Structure 1
Amino acid sequence: MVDSALYQPLNTIREEFRLLRIQPSDDFHSIITCQLFTASLIDKPSYNALSYEWGNPNVTKSVIVNSTELQVTSNLEAALRRIRTTHSEVILWVDGLCINQRDVAEKNIQVAMMGRLYSNTTLTYAWLGEDDGGSATRTFQFLRSFLGDFGKFVEDVDYFAIRTSENVRENKRYRGEDRVLEDIRSGKLTMNEFNLNDFHEVCRRGYWWRTWVQQELILSPKVLLLSGSASIPLNLVIAFAMLNFTIKALASEWTESFHNMSDMLRIRWIPQVVRLITTDFENLVSLVSRLQFCRVTDPRDKIYGVLGIYRGTVSITVDYDKLVALVFADLVRNLAAESGKLYLRQFPRNTVDPHVPDLPSWTPNFFRDNVDSASKTGDRTGVHESRGWSARIHPTSCPSLLRTSGCTVDTVQSVFRFSPENEASDVLCNFIGSYVTMPHPTGATFLQVLCCNMFKHPTVDILRRRFSLHMSRAFLHWILKCGMERGAFNQRFDNFIHEHNLVDIFKSVPEDISTSLQFAKFTGAIDHLVEPYKSARDHSHFLRMTPQQRMASFWGSQTYPNSFLADIDWRIPSKATDLESIRIHIGKWTRKKAIIITEQGYTGFASYDTLVGDQISIIAGCPWPAIIRPSGKHHEIVGGSFIYGMMDGELFKDGRLTDDRQQIFEFI
């Protein structure tokens, strides 16, 4: 972007950086004229900073820097034009002009300093772009009016750059809550002038989705949002979002004008940075995961862009000469050193990402993949139930090779893949029909295992929780509905009713029993009928059995309460919204997944590209059983898995995993 002849070397010992002096102009449309000069953090200079998105690099405009005409993106030029004044110079730090983008060595040093550069600003301008439609102007005007009377509460928001959510709620509770409640109850505060569409338009702008923006705004002591000629302090937007706590508490007392407040404050519409300011991250992986959907131009910035706001210790050095794959590998090693957990790749590697070439099999693609599910399930994985099984990374001279400890515990015997060509309902119904009679090593019933794997429950006890019962019931209704729609003929069910002369009997049974029996017909899950039928003195006795007696051996009477079993006959159909929710949930859960059966009889979900013969291994520190595959003298990581019976320390408790069984794996 900028001619390197403009830049003189910087003194790194004095922590030097460059600043831009923008000359004033009475003519708004005149070309931007400015000078670059050197400053030092040691001298604590006074300056402002610009936070912006570069925009389309092919759409540029001219600016004059040190008497040289340069081309910058039109979005940057527009921001400088809005910041320029008519009467005085503006001292500004702008990464695109103040860093020599062609000097990688300088860029490495300056990017590593960015956290301190923003932390020491007098004011940071956050450029959201022009406001051609006027949505920002109207939104800012409303916020100023709505929050104008909050006094000290709003002012205090200026001074928390990084606070825990507990402290934020404390500020709200003691500084402004009483006033908010009083004004809403009295009708002084209303939403009559609020335009939800305007608010959403401002919050959806591309600016908010840059990874670097999160650091820039969190670390800056004061931020002024700019859009066209409209402006507002960021603290007002934060205060507005913080009202979510108070407004929810007043749900029963809202006036009519507040009825859309819940829609307005839905977390998906609040800018990411606002949520980050009010969040305390336990570890680096949770921070990287939260910013997964933010955009970067360089994949390395997925990591470099969060280092400034992470409050822990991390030994990652900014280096734009390093291969992206090795930057990601460094993060895995740092996460292991920080938390004792080894976050290996979970998702399929069936395509090569041109942005991240030569990615080792064990390294997650942090540019594309989300490791959030890892952080959510890792603490309850069997590996962490035993002391001494935290991450063990052994030294190696090859940065793309991971040498670590673990133990192979099983082998994949069968694979049922979900794909765009195979509907999830077809795959699940075929799986149920084929394996419903297979005993599980833990003794759990088929339904228990299926629901635990589907909803990522490590133990059957969780199935007793209200939400799990709701999800299980809706899931069973969904299976029945899919079977009815498919009109599947099941040979095992047909053989059963003919063997026991039940054809005519089943035609005349009451509707509630007939409906429940269709579950057996469409899935092949008939074994729960056998023992109750054999113990019955005659057909009529069998039909008089309670749902608990008739179904308990299949559903698991020790897991589900009687109230659930009594409804298992589907006499109360699940709501259409519940079925749709389950359909969506299953669609998300089965994406890039496969159901696997192991040689020892375990079932679970694994990466889509798992093959028969792949090994299931517990890798020290890895929060899930890893699917691995031999590759010459080494191994490859195929992906992660969730396998009921291995997720709660069972393999340690029964003695199958001990320190003396660990072996060394080398993953490439």
Structure 2
Amino acid sequence: MATAKEDKVSYNSVPLLDASTHVRLLEICPVSDNEDELYCKLYAAPIADLPSYSAVSYAWGDNTKTHSIRIVDYDQAPTSTEESLDKENGHTCLLPITSSLDTCLRQFRTYKELRLTPLWIDQVCINQDDDEEKSSQIQLMNQIYSSAKEVYVWLGLDSDGSDEVFQAFRQVAECMWDSELFGKDRATKWFPAPRAIFDNRIDTPEVQELLRKVVTIVVPLLREKKILAWYKRTWFSRIWTIQEFCLNQYTFFVCGDRAVLDEVVLLVWELFLILPDFHRNTRFRNAFKDHPEILSMMDSQPASLLPPPMQHLFETKGSLKRGKRASLREVLVQVSTRLDLGDHRVDILSTKFRDRVYGLLGLAADAEELDIRPDYSKSTTTAEVLTQTARSIVRTEGSVSVLRFSQFPKHHVEDPDEAGHCQPERLPSWVPDWANGTQYSYQFLDNVFSACGRFSSTADLIPTSSPFILGLRGLLIDKIEAVGLPWRADWGLKAYHRYILQYFAIIKDMKRRSAEKNSSGFDNDIYPDSSRRNQALWRLALGDCYVNGPQKRARATADDVVPVFRELIDHCNFCCSVDEKLEQQQQQQQQQSETGNNDNNRSYLNNMMHMDGKRPYLTAQKGYLGMAPKHAQPGDVVVLLCGDSTPYVLRTTGHDNSTSSSNTYTFVGEAYCDGIMDGELEGRLERERQEFFLV
């Protein structure tokens, strides 16, 4: 055991001249026995003039710091490239670290190339007890990770067959390169998209031969769930690791004593995307009709073979490599909405809830313009951080479309204090919490609506006395008079055909009541003719959007929708007409019918799925028909807000003292309103603009 002094490290001995322009780097001192204590050197340098260094991305795991490293006095110790470190007489200080980092550094110490390389590791290089320094350093994360020579993703020691998984990654890459389908230059900085090559050329002998090789490599590991175990390591669920992975061109996954370039992992991941095609794609099955062993291997696997969750990582990194950066809103939407993978769902985690914003700032193209500065001071609440983020996005983009992701019920966003107590929820109704499972609402297709006409892209903001109040101008369309039952996108619901008919009977009755309102002396009819009113029956249930294959994504049209809608209704009526005995005898057939296995029935029902939980509504005066969030109720109002292309539902409240209760509202959610989605009320919006204050 060393006799060096046992002082605890004081970051004052390794000061940052300016935490917004300087960083610390760590060097691992080599030793003859890897069981020996960890000796490291820590020093500071301006970020504009750093030596060549590597950055490390890892999961902290348990935040309890149960281990320590010895920080060697920089002036008194020999350089870390020398093996003759004088441990007995050199002055060292102890720096507590987590168990996961201890394991990581010990493994890295065995790699000669890393012993000679300065490292940036957040847990050591940032004084975690100094909130001001931490806030400043986080603003440098973009530079730190993008300027590093490479980034090492530490996943932990070998376990659950991870060595076999890494070997499979390399074998697949070798097979792909040897095929020359991706070019002959192995020094490429990013692979062509294998999925596109497989799909477009599945009929060629070259692709079939390659797939025969790689399928036999990866499918056994899928069957044994070894690849799934690898993907389920903690690193994949941390918010900070997203930008740490994406910002650098050269990123290596490290597990135990194995390392593999991220591009190789991408090759295998793209392969996963085409494996389900062996189940459902006739071209794929025909291509392998002379290789029954491959089809048998695929048929023995579940249809869902894709492990979680790499899409948000590789798509984001691919965009950065192509020079395309998304806005913070787009990054937040991507990360918050794209990880619901059924049984393989992975929740993105963060030590502090506010890190859901701070952890993605380094990826945002508009980070500087948003002027969001990380703030970890105890006097600043997470509600304040999320509110500032939402306001900054509205101000910067000139759009209120971020409100679409302000869903209910809201998650508890305040972190517990030292005693484990949480502050009461104080997040305004209009502010998204960006929690896991955020859902797209109606406009899952971009740029298909223009309810505000030329005012759809320009928010009309009103100054307010509190940052928690959002003042906007727009148009009150009408008050909701009645709501129907929420649509349930539940294929397994018993007697689904009866539920479907009941649902459309409610819409049909609302359509009748709408016609009565417009024939009883109110303003002009909201529809140009009765034929257009009748279309509301099938438009509402789809939110007026129809997806029919990957090449056709647009507004619903009568030619596309009416035939499949009629077949669905006819089939549901048929199911209801059979007697009990026949229904029992044909139970299997009817179960297939109820779940929409008929292609045309499934086509319409599939398009209704994105309306899950939404409910039809009828407005009081004009008789507008539409779809509202499931928690909408009579008395709510439908409005157009300048700066978006869809209407919203608001609820009047009188609890704010700084504004009149008549124009103070809580936010309910995004809406579809039939007959106004193409700017029909643009003139009224210009002439009759009103003030709305959201709290």
- Is the structural similarity TM-score above 0.5? yes
SS across alignment from 1:296 = coil
- Preserved contact between residue 411 and residue 435 of structure 2 (Cα < 8 Å): no
The number of residues matched between the two structures is: 571
Distance (Å, rounded) in 2 between the aligned partners of 1:416 and 1:640: 16
How far residue 228 of structure 1 moved from its aligned partner, in angstroms, is: 2.1
2:120 maps to 1:69: no
Distance (Å, rounded) in 1 between the aligned partners of 2:25 and 2:242: 22
Q: 1:302 aligns to what?
A: 356
1:289 corresponds to which letter in structure 2?
Answer: V
2:373 corresponds to which letter in structure 1?
Answer: T
Q: Output the TM-score relative to the length of structure 2.
A: 0.70
2:597 maps to 1:577: yes
2:284 maps to 1:228: no
| 2:312 aligns with one of 247, 266, 272 | 272
2:258 corresponds to which letter in structure 1?
Answer: A
2:460 maps to 1:392: yes
SS across alignment from 2:664 = strand
| 1:318 aligns with one of 367, 374, 383 | 374
How far residue 631 of structure 1 moved from its aligned partner, in angstroms, is: 2.4
| 1:206 aligns with one of 234, 243, 268 | 234
Task: Check 1:478–1:58 CA distance in 2 against 1; reply closer, same or farther (3 A cut).
Answer: farther
Q: Output the TM-score relative to the length of structure 1.
A: 0.73
Moved more, 229-238 or 606-615: 606-615
Q: 1:101 aligns to what?
A: 128
2:653 maps to 1:631: yes
Q: 1:142 aligns to what?
A: 168
2:23 maps to 1:17: yes
Task: Check 1:603–1:27 CA distance in 2 against 1; reply closer, same or farther (3 A cut).
Answer: farther
2:524 maps to 1:438: no
- Preserved contact between residue 59 and residue 73 of structure 1 (Cα < 8 Å): yes
Distance (Å, rounded) in 2 between the aligned partners of 1:584 and 1:59: 50
| 1:642 aligns with one of 665, 671, 691 | 671
- Preserved contact between residue 62 and residue 72 of structure 1 (Cα < 8 Å): yes
Q: 2:266 aligns to what?
A: 238
How far residue 110 of structure 1 moved from its aligned partner, in angstroms, is: 0.7
Q: Which has the higher contact order (CA 8 A, sep 6+)?
A: 1
Distance (Å, rounded) in 2 between the aligned partners of 1:305 and 1:3: 29
2:60 maps to 1:42: no
How far residue 326 of structure 1 moved from its aligned partner, in angstroms, is: 2.9
Distance (Å, rounded) in 1 between the aligned partners of 2:507 and 2:126: 60
Q: 1:82 aligns to what?
A: 107
- Preserved contact between residue 610 and residue 627 of structure 1 (Cα < 8 Å): yes
Distance (Å, rounded) in 2 between the aligned partners of 1:208 and 1:223: 14
Q: 2:287 aligns to what?
A: 253
Which digits, 9 at most, give the CA deviation of each residue in 1:450-486, with x for residues without a partner? 43222221599714465885577447645875x6799
How far residue 117 of structure 1 moved from its aligned partner, in angstroms, is: 0.5
Distance (Å, rounded) in 2 between the aligned partners of 1:65 and 1:76: 15
1:253 corresponds to which letter in structure 2?
Answer: A
Distance (Å, rounded) in 1 between the aligned partners of 2:411 and 2:269: 40
- Preserved contact between residue 59 and residue 238 of structure 2 (Cα < 8 Å): yes
Q: 1:612 aligns to what?
A: 634
Matches within 5 A, 1:482-493: none
Matches within 5 A, 1:393-542: 393-418=461-486, 425=499, 428=503, 431-432=506-507, 435=510, 437-439=512-514, 441-442=526-527, 443=530, 448-457=535-544, 462-464=556-558, 470=564, 473-474=567-568, 477=571, 481=575
Distance (Å, rounded) in 2 between the aligned partners of 1:155 and 1:92: 30
Q: 1:546 aligns to what?
A: none
How far residue 231 of structure 1 moved from its aligned partner, in angstroms, is: 1.9
Distance (Å, rounded) in 1 between the aligned partners of 2:119 and 2:578: 65
Moved more, 401-410 or 630-639: 630-639
Matches within 5 A, 1:345-364: 349=408, 353-355=412-414, 357-364=425-432
Distance (Å, rounded) in 1 between the aligned partners of 2:594 and 2:394: 44
SS across alignment from 1:110 = helix
SS across alignment from 1:400 = coil
Distance (Å, rounded) in 2 between the aligned partners of 1:354 and 1:30: 43
Q: 2:386 aligns to what?
A: 328
How far residue 658 of structure 1 moved from its aligned partner, in angstroms, is: 3.3
1:19 corresponds to which letter in structure 2?
Answer: L
- Preserved contact between residue 190 and residue 257 of structure 1 (Cα < 8 Å): no
2:618 maps to 1:597: yes
Distance (Å, rounded) in 1 between the aligned partners of 2:512 and 2:603: 28
Of Structure 1 and Structure 2, which has the larger fraction of its residues in helix?
Answer: 1
How far residue 57 of structure 1 moved from its aligned partner, in angstroms, is: 2.2
How far residue 29 of structure 1 moved from its aligned partner, in angstroms, is: 3.3
Moved more, 34-43 or 628-637: 628-637
- Preserved contact between residue 410 and residue 433 of structure 2 (Cα < 8 Å): no
- Preserved contact between residue 382 and residue 649 of structure 1 (Cα < 8 Å): yes
| 1:652 aligns with one of 681, 684, 690 | 681
Structure 2: runs of 5 or more not aligned: 1-6, 73-91, 340-347, 416-424, 516-525, 547-553, 583-589, 655-659
Matches within 5 A, 1:543-562: none
SS across alignment from 2:243 = helix
SS across alignment from 1:207 = helix
1:284 corresponds to which letter in structure 2?
Answer: L
Q: 1:55 aligns to what?
A: 61
SS across alignment from 2:227 = helix
How far residue 121 of structure 1 moved from its aligned partner, in angstroms, is: 1.2
Task: Check 1:462–1:144 CA distance in 2 against 1; reply closer, same or farther (3 A cut).
Answer: same
Q: 2:693 aligns to what?
A: 666
SS across alignment from 2:55 = strand
Considering only aligned residues, what root-mean-square deviation do their CA atoms show, in Å? Answer: 4.3
